[in-house]
A and B are shown apart, each in its own frame.
Chain A
Amino acid sequence: MNRIAQTFSVLQSNHKKALIPFITAGDPAPALTVELMHSLVNAGSDIIELGVPFSDPMADGPTIQRSSERALKHRVGLHDVLSMVSEFRKENMRTPVVLMGYANPVEAMGYKYFAAQAEKAGIDGVLTVDYPPEECEEWVRCLEQHGLDTIFLLSPTSTQSRIAQVAKLAKGYIYYVSLKGVTGASHLDLKSVALRLEELRAVISIPIGVGFGIRDGKTAGAVAKLADAVVIGSRIIEEIEHSPQNKLLSNVAELVARMREAIDAQRS
């Protein structure tokens, strides 16, 4: 069993839901990323989604765009992101790390080379936002050969046939985007999420995480009741953005701990 499956299996037997924070590698500075990852884990995170900065993050809202720009000011590239994960693995062999980003940096590196390096670095899954299933069968196979899960997005507008198509390829967990739009929007509709998850569960056997628009403990708790995992991105990035350097780690840790508490309070 790989780290992602292992994590969900342990959580399940403890009747707990996964908390998955998202940060961009290199934001606000490359030297802080590994430390930030450890403090996310210490505050109660189960899986870390690590964003690979890209110059043109078409599916992201202003908050994550800015975090990508801050990282790019330090010229953080995919090679650096892989080194950060290797560094993280020196102390943590347990927490899954999923890279999230866009296709072009991977293609510039060469996807076969990338897959080999990602395996070596101790990465567990990869979510490439702009690789929909029909364009990436070779990619999925290549990641699989290196023991990496391909994480896919599904959205409120995904049709039944697409859901089935994604279900066939997806590994690790599904990331359900809970609203129409880009990351950072703030009007998640719990009722429609609940209905949608029921439909997805009929076809999908791996865990389902929900993200986009989760900004407070209350929403996180409510989503935890419905889904297997709660993904929190823009809200954490905002905390990073607004915290002075000397408070950054503790502010983020406090935020994550609050989310953890809210999620655990909803234990079903």
Chain B
Amino acid sequence: MNIYDLPDKQGHFGPYGGVFVAETLISALDELREQYDHYRNNAAFQNEFANELKHYVGRPSPIYHARRWSEHLGGAQILLKREDLNHTGAHKVNNTVGQALLARRMGKSRVIAETGAGQHGVATATVAARYGMQCVVYMGSEDVRRQATNVYRMKLLGAEVVQVKSGSRTLKDALNEAMRDWVTQVENTFYIIGTVAGPHPYPMMVRDFQTVIGTEAKIQMQEAYGKQPDVLIACVGGGSNAIGLFYPYIDDQSVRMIGVEAAGKGLETNKHAATLSKGKPGVLHGNRTYLIQDENGQIIETHSISAGLDYPGVGPEHAWLKDIHRAEYVGVTDDEALAAFHALCRFEGIMPALESSHALAYAAKFAPTLAKNQLILVNLSGRGDKDMATVAQMSGIAL
């Protein structure tokens, strides 16, 4: 049996990943790679990380059987990995704790981050406060307007929020701007990327920090059900919550893995963010991966009801898992996600993030095609409090 062991030393997952950056960034990435290679296998570091996840984040997150909803759907049993119960309300904090601890060991006093919806920005501002670091968050001016509450949360936590007014003024432009900050102030600054994107070692490092999701799930499933799930389902923006759940299962071919992208107003329209379904391979943000682009190779704006999935790229490891057919990637529309959001509220008393609602929507479609004794594990990547304004607006309700 082949043991999955990627990326290679240069950060490649097959033809994807790698280091596609200007020379000015190379030494910063070299330093990061060397330091991370060291701490990746350092027991003291890993213990500190585990300890923080337990006492600060509140891990392990439970697996919950959505019994009433499963019965209503009339097929496989749907189980939820409750990342929504983490401190700050999403899986994002697993990664920011890991990177902040690394930043501290590297002697960096300032952390920066990009954010779209503001979830990763909040998770970064949170750990920066926790460890006493200066924090600057880059956010597209379009997103600042759309996500005013999260901007205020970041400020309450002591972060400076910088509005990015270039390009499409959204997440991808915030990432560009954070990279520009990093090259200019690399001596004292650590760039905390929020998903499994960017140049090597980021896709590997963020995956490693998020793998706690799947590692816990394997143990919890064995304990509670005496077996592993038949299917894993997770939403894919950049792909960090999905890879966090999938990674420990990659060598276990009996477990199907399904990533759900945002199909927005429909895959046949040009208003979606379904990078793996509709994109083509190319180079952006330091790695080779699938991208939503026009015929000239310009990156084009994406659309999704959920800001966290609204990204024109995708982590290179997902690109590879797609090509080798180890994982499947499907699309779920805004309307389908919204229906799943309401269903989970009503059947289980859990308000999911709109990102996670995409995974739930696919589970709802898929469950009836399976037998009642089969198990689907859905990564409930975050809670929906942040999305109330969007949901109200979509339903034509003024708050």
A interface list, Cβ under 8 A from B: 53-59, 61-62, 65-66, 69, 72, 75, 77-79, 102-109, 129-132, 134-135, 152-155, 157-159, 162, 166, 177, 180-182, 185
Contact = CB atoms under 8 A, between A and B. Distances in A.
A100 to B, nearest CB: 11
Secondary structure of the B contact surface, majority rule: mixed
A166 B10 CA distance: 17
Contacts of B25: 59
A154 B26 CA distance: 10
A205 to B, nearest CB: 19
Contacts of A153: 22-24
B167 A158 contact: no
Contact of B26 (A106, A108, A162, A182): A162
B330 interface: no
Given A56-B172, A181-B183, A103 B24 contact: no
B21 A58 contact: yes
B248 interface: no
The residue among A58, A107, A159 with the most chain B CB atoms within 10 A of its own CB is A58
B268 interface: no
A130 B293 CA distance: 17
Interface stretch (B62-70, B86-94, B203-211, B283-291): B283-291
Contact of B22 (A53, A69, A129, A162): A129
Interface string B288-299: 000101011111
The residue among A102, A130, A181 with the most chain B CB atoms within 10 A of its own CB is A130
A18 B127 CA distance: 50
B145 interface: no
B352 interface: no
A58 B22 contact: yes
B23 A108 contact: no
14 contacts: A59-B22, A59-B25, A59-B180, A107-B282, A108-B296, A130-B20, A130-B22, A132-B20, A157-B24, A157-B27, A158-B23, A158-B27, A159-B27, A182-B184
Given A56-B284, A62-B166, A104 B299 contact: yes
A267 B176 CA distance: 40
A109 B167 CA distance: 22
Contacts of A72: 298
B19 A135 contact: yes
Given A77-B298, A153-B24, A155-B23, 9 more contacts: A58-B21, A58-B286, A59-B22, A59-B25, A78-B296, A158-B23, A166-B23, A177-B24, A181-B180
B339 interface: no
B179 interface: yes
A132 B297 contact: no
B77 to A, nearest CB: 43
A162 B166 CA distance: 32
